[in-house]
Structure 1
Amino acid sequence: MVPLPEEDQICPVCGTQMVLIGEEYVRRELEFIPATCKVIEYYSQSYGCPSCKEGPGDTKKPVIVKSQVPPALLGKGPASASAAAWTMYQKYANGLPLYRQEKDWKQYGVQISRTTLANWIIYCSKNYFQPMYDYFHRELLKRSFAMADETRVQVLKEEGRRAQTQSFMWLFRSGEDGLAEIILYGYSPTRSGSHAKEFLEGYSGYLETDGYQGYNSLPGIRRCSSVGHISADTLSTLFQKGS
């Protein structure tokens, strides 16, 4: 609201104090509020029993109980859940390299090296994301219909391999069966069908893929070609017939 200055609220004709009789929408603006960093310090508190300390209690030793501080996200470093999540979002969603994020943190007043940022990502992926990935992997193998595909990806620094060597990123996802979608990625240095075989071990439903021959040797799996989309209704009919 933009009020009328007090000196202008006097009637220019008779000098009477005017009153508000309405408001009118004019425009809308988008305001940007830059991100800020703050340091949170945790202290535990100790409580002691005064009776036991003086002796009249049931024990001759002082009784001391400490409050429980929330566990750290990783080790003894300064990483909070929000800081680690922001680092991963910037790198993988916005494509911002860690060396540039290192400069951003410095502008916020925090000295964090790109090595430390990388360690945050590695630790969180192994200790927090991997259990979730494994869970959804098990759930995907229970479905009746799945899809798979692989695409080339370049890894710049991989031990024992040239940067020009092609690696592969595999995509496995659930079908349109009315249940929650499950989409999982898996990396392999080659296009060998052994990766698909290992990932889909235990799966026995329909698998929709392209023409790549690496999927042909998967035991217990009924393969469907992705040439000509197979609708959910058609698959439902196949499942009912037990084909």
Structure 2
Amino acid sequence: MVYSRVHFNQLLEEQAISRSQIDQLKTENRLLQEKVQCLMKRLFGSSSEKLSPDQLELELEEFRELQEALDLAESKTELAEEEQKQSKRGKRKGLDARIPKDLPTETIIIDPDEVIAHPELYKKIGEERLEQLDITPTQFIKIVTIRNKYKKRDDRSVAPLIAPAPKQLIENSYATVGLVLHIILGKYCDHLPLYRQEQIFKQRFGVEISRKTMGGWMYLVAQWLSLIYEALRNEIRASGYIQADETFIKYQDPKKDYCPNGYLWAYHSPAVGVLFEWHASRAATCLDSMLIGYSGLLQTDGYAGYTSWLNKKSHAAKKASIIHAACWAHARRKFKEVPGNPTAEDVVKLIAKLYRVESKLRDNPDLDRAAYRQEHSAPVLEQIKSILETERFRQLPQSNFGKAIHYTLERWDALNLYLEHDKLEICNNLVENAIRPTAIGKKNFLFFGSPDSGQTSAVIYSLIETCRKLDINPAVYLREILTALPTMNQSEAADWTPARWKSSRENTSA
């Protein structure tokens, strides 16, 4: 068979097209293999990277949240392994070191029957001591308050006398501060939904309190606490440093036949507290209530809503007063998702060195953070940037490594801001930790009952998580504050934020 030159050229063109298609398919296959390997690593890898199959069914927002928690745990593990590869388990602490010093103590003395019968014949030469922990189960008590009425014996024109009724946390209700506090701690600390508490009260104690009634109490308590909630907001804004993040929680909407996603926006300031805001969306406008008028540092992940808010023309003046910092934990996660690449592993190891510097600073608070970072972290950052600048032209933009390089270099200046501002943390992990208890709660109660009920939980979560951050017992704090609320003036609310409450107690004890 004889081929003409035209036919031959046509075959060459078809061959070139086929080769191009083959190369494209090879590239797509490699990218897909990267994703499969990353997924397999999460499913069957070490416990610090492992995800259960059930978690894979969660939506993207929750998956991101869980992965950040795993990254935090793994980064701590890597640092511990590099600093001390052969760790030994310390001796177990004694009971006195593991319980509060002011714990009520009941002493039981047991003497032999012979000594009890004839004590004059025996002399004590020592003792055998056994220390145990006991607990008194929850017990319902009915409190009856009687206010006697009196009249003058010799003057009937005088109105009868009766003592004024004590002010109640919830008017015209049988709920005491102790009962309301028990329900709050059950839901927001122990993650027990109201319907479970309803069952527990009925089955164990024979007391019937409907979940609807308890939900109404939570709403009223949140209204009381809103003054302190706003005072906490002012404290966080005045601190000049806010770490921000958001997490989704579903809610019931009577206008829809499904539960849409709402969001708890979290704002954390180290040593000050955490404030949650509830919004039915993730739009950038949700930041208005916290950031309009704010001046200082703002540290976030890579969600575009933050940069979108800062880049609005109407917020141009605010942008100049807000320094937007990025998070190294999120950048690190991008490189951890690159399977089997030694260069990406080198970047992860260099990032671990940055975290080791931060660990040193936490253990030695007297060190000059800015100077120490410039000496030890700045050279490591230069190494990372040199690697990324070299590799950016060698990696496919759509590969996991290419995406990680682009993500990091795009935010390079924001990632390096913590060198200039000693107040800044290297990452957003502190606010991630503050969000974690809410994630446990939403897995138990599944959704909020209405579009408005989310703010009730936001107010109570804010105070409880701030107590946790400041090492305050929320039961002690809330009991005292719930007792004081009915007689509290609006001007006094600012003195009842967890930070000020703790400071006043420390000053009193000193």
1:224 aligns with 2:325: yes
Q: Over aligned residue pairs, what C-alpha RMSD do you find?
A: 2.8
User: Aligned in 2, Cα 1:44/1:231: closer, same or farther, shift over 3 Å?
Assistant: farther
Say if 2:181 is the partner of 1:85: yes
Alpha carbons of structure 1 residues 214 and 33: separation in structure 2 relative to 1, 3 Å: same
SS, match of residue 243 in structure 2: strand
2:125 aligned residue? 21
Quick one: which of 418, 421, 438 aligns to 1:234?
A: 421
C-alpha contact (below 8 Å) 2:147/2:162 kept by paired residues: yes
How far the C-alpha of 1:49 sits from its partner, in A, is: 3.9
Name the one with the larger strand percent.
1
Q: 2:209 aligns with which of 91, 108, 112?
A: 112
How much has 1:4 moved relative to structure 2? 0.9
Tell me which protein shows more helix as a share of its residues: 2
Residues 185, 229 of structure 1: alpha-carbon distance in 2 compared, 3 angstrom cutoff: farther
Residue 48, structure 1, aligned to residue 151, structure 2: yes
For 2:159 and 2:281, the matched residues in 1 are separated by 62
- Counterparts of residues 1-243 of structure 1 (less than 5 Å): 1-6=109-114, 17-25=121-129, 27-50=130-153, 52-53=155-156, 61-106=157-202, 107-126=204-223, 128-155=224-251, 157-161=252-256, 163=258, 165-174=260-269, 176=270, 180-216=271-307, 217-218=309-310, 219=315, 220=318, 221-227=322-328, 228=415, 231=418, 234-235=421-422
TM-score normalised by the chain length of structure 2: 0.39
The alpha-carbon distance between structure 1 residues 103 and 152, as it changes in their structure 2 partners (threshold 3 A), is closer
Contact persistence 2:115–2:122 (CA under 8 A):
no
For 1:44 and 1:114, how far apart are their aligned partners in 2?
A: 31
The sequence identity of aligned pairs, in percent, is 25
- Cα distance, 1:162–1:232 mapped onto 2, change above 3 Å: farther
Q: Aligned partner of 1:29: which letter?
A: Q
* Number of corresponding residues: 219
Alpha-carbon distance in structure 1 between the residues aligned to 2:183 and 2:152: 45
Counterpart CA distance in 1 for 2:292 and 2:253 is 27
Instruction: Give 1:212's aligned amino acid.
Output: Y
Q: Of the two structures, which has the highest relative contact order with CA contacts closer than 8 Å and spacing of 6 or more?
A: 2
TM-score by length of 1: 0.78
Q: 1:56 corresponds to which residue?
A: none
Q: List gaps (5 residues or longer) in structure 2.
A: 1-108, 329-414, 425-510
Instruction: Determine the C-alpha separation between the residues in 2 that align with 1:232 and 1:143.
Output: 19
Separation in 1, partners of 2:179, 2:205: 12
